[in-house]
């Protein structure tokens, strides 16, 4: 007899595409999912802005670091564990090349639209690469349209949507809802609408979660 397909279990992920721990956390999760292709997860990404008060046009990264960490030395200290964990995860983060810190509202709008087309995780992956590897300004409409094109979305439609405010308030409301539910940092993973798993957890933890869920279903 063939193996009966397990019922999908919702995995909701609160994340921001400029959050380095979200980038690392996704890499860890991806590794676990790759090692367990029969995993039960149905994944949905949700908006959470690290800097909800960021001007819509973003700001110069040096000014941002001065404001948040008191300058480059403070930023180096703050990001040291990020660099260490990224390297362990096999990721490159090109901090030196980053010129701007964007407002991510429009990036979250793109993730939402990608979800409608079944390309949500592809959009998240492309945004992480654009920001952390290619040091692109993912608050810029042309960059977002290019990312949309790279994952086989209609760039012209995305450009037209970005010129409007469509879905912008919905993204803000969803972000606010997560905060009201107690989410105060990202990444935060919600398993089966009940269990919150905060932080960039290692692949081994996800392997254990998958094993436990699979055993419960058998």
Q: Enumerate residues 6+ apart whose C-beta is below 8 A from 11.
A: 41, 42, 43, 44, 189, 190, 191
- pLDDT confidence of residue 6: 61
- The pLDDT of residue 1 is above 80: no
The residues, ordered by sequence, that sit 6+ positions from 125 with a Cβ below 8 Å of its Cβ are 26
Q: What are the tokens at 101?
A: 């810190």
Phi, psi of 180 (to 5 degrees): -65, -30
Name the pLDDT band for 174 (thresholds 50, 70, 90).
very high
Name the 3-class secondary structure at 12: strand
Q: Residue 66 falls within a domain, yes or no? A: no
* Number of helices followed by number of strands (H, E) in the chain: 9, 6
Q: What is the pLDDT of residues 4-34, one digit of tens each?
A: 446 899 999 999 999 999 999 999 999 999 9
| Domain coverage including residue 23 | 9-52+104-213
| 87 occurs within a structural domain | no
In a domain, 113, yes or no: yes
| DSSP 3-state percent helix, strand, coil across the chain (nearest 5) | 55, 10, 35
pLDDT value at 164 more than 70: yes
CATH code, domain carrying 136: 3.40.30.10
Residue 2 has pLDDT above 70, yes or no: no
pTM: 0.95
Q: Is 141 helix (H, G, I), strand (E, B) or coil?
A: helix
Does 95 reside within a domain?
no
Mean pLDDT for 114-130 is 98
Q: Looking at residues 64-79, what average pLDDT do you find?
A: 90
Residue written as token pair 């819509």: 56
Parallel, antiparallel or unpaired: strands 9-15 and 188-191? antiparallel
pLDDT band at 218 (very low <50, low <70, confident <90, very high): confident
Q: Express each pLDDT in 180-197 by its tens digit.
A: 999 999 999 999 999 999
- Report the C-alpha gap between 18 and 51 in whole angstroms: 10
The verdict on residue 17 lying in a domain is yes
Average pLDDT over the chain reads 95
User: Residue 56 pLDDT more than 70?
Assistant: yes
pLDDT value for 47: 98
Residue 184 within a domain: yes
Domain for residue 199, yes or no? yes
User: Encoding tokens for residue 152?
Assistant: 């086989």
pLDDT digits (tens, 9 = 90+) for 134-155: 999 999 999 999 999 999 999 9
**Domains identified in the chain, total number:** 1
Residues making up the chain, counted from first to last: 218
Say if residues 11 and 191 touch (Cβ distance below 8 Å): yes
């Amino acid at each position: 007899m063939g193996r009966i397909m397990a019922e999908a279990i919702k995995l909701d992920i609160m994340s921001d595409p400029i959050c380095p721990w979200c980038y690392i956390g996704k890499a860890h999760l991806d590794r676990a999912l790759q090692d367990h292709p029969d995993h039960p997860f149905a994944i949905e990404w949700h908006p959470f802005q690290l800097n909800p008060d960021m001007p819509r046009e973003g700001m110069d990264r040096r000014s941002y670091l001065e404001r948040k960490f008191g300058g480059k030395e403070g930023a180096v200290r703050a990001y040291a564990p990020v660099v260490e964990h990224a390297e362990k995860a096999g990721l490159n983060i090109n901090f030196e090349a980053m010129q701007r810190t964007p407002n991510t509202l429009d990036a979250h709008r793109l993730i939402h639209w990608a979800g409608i087309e079944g390309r949500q995780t592809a959009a998240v992956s492309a945004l992480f690469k654009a920001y952390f590897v290619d040091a692109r300004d993912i608050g810029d409409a042309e960059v977002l349209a290019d990312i949309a094109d790279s994952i086989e979305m209609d760039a012209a439609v995305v450009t037209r949507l970005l010129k409007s405010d469509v879905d912008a308030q919905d993204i803000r409301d969803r972000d606010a809802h997560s905060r009201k539910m107690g989410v105060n940092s990202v990444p935060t993973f919600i398993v089966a609408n009940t269990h919150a798993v905060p932080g960039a957890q290692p692949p081994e933890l996800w392997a254990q979660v998958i094993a436990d869920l699979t055993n419960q279903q058998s």
